[in-house]
Amino acid sequence: IEEIFDSLEGATIFSTLDLFSGYHQILMDEESINLTGFTTKFGNFVYKVMPFGLIGAPATYQREMNRILFELIGKSVYIFLDDILVFSKNKEEHIEHLKEVLEIFRKHKVKLNIEKCKFFKEEVEILGQRVTNKGLTTVEAVKNWTKPSNIWKFVLSWAQLDTTVY
C-alpha cells in the first residue's frame, strides 16, 4: 500500500468513486448460482448476482475491477476493493482521467453511487489515510482506535486451539 501511495507523488487533484451496490453488479457464474441457494418462508431462492458474505467475494470483486480498469491502474486509478481513487496532476488532466473511467464504466454497465462519490478534491480519505498533494497523513479516527486488550474475542473456539502440544 505504501508503494501505491508513493506513486501518487505529483498528483494534486483527486476523486473517489463508490459503486452502487458494488458486489451486486457482478453476475454469478452460471455453474455457481445453485451454490447460493437459501430457503425462507416465502420459498427457495438463489442469487444471480454476487452476494455479500461469500468467501471469495472480495477477491472476485477486486479481480473484476482490476480487469475492467486494467489500462488505467497506476497511471490515473487505484482500486482498493470498493474504493476507487482517480488522481491527476492538474484539473485538465483530471477531466480526461474521469472521462476514461466513466466511459469504461458505461461500457461495462457499472453504476456509481453518486451521493458517495467525491470529485475534484485537493484531499481525500482512503484506507484510513488522508491523501493530499503534500503526501499522506493518518486520519485522526484511525490514530485514536483503542488497542485490543485481549485477543480471545477475535479467535473462534480459542479453548480448542489453546492446547498443550506434547
How far are the Cα atoms of 14, 37, 133, 162 from residue 89, in angstroms, in the given order?
9, 48, 9, 53
Confirm if 129 and 139 have CB atoms less than 8 A apart: yes
End-to-end Cα distance, the chain: 41
C-alpha dihedral, 123 to 126 to 131 to 135, nearest 10°: 180
| Arithmetic mean of pLDDT over the chain | 80
Could you give all domains of the chain from N- to C-terminal order, each with its CATH number?
2-161 (3.30.70.270)
- pTM of the entire structure? 0.73
What's the pLDDT band for 21 if we cut at 50, 70, 90? confident
Q: For 85-131, how does the pLDDT look when each residue is reduced to its tens digit (9 = 90+)?
A: 999 999 999 999 999 999 999 999 988 999 999 999 998 887 777 77
- The arithmetic mean of pLDDT across residues 12-21, rounded, is 88
More confident residue, 21 or 166: 21
pLDDT computed for residue 17 by the predictor: 93
Neighbours of 65 (CB within 10 A): 23
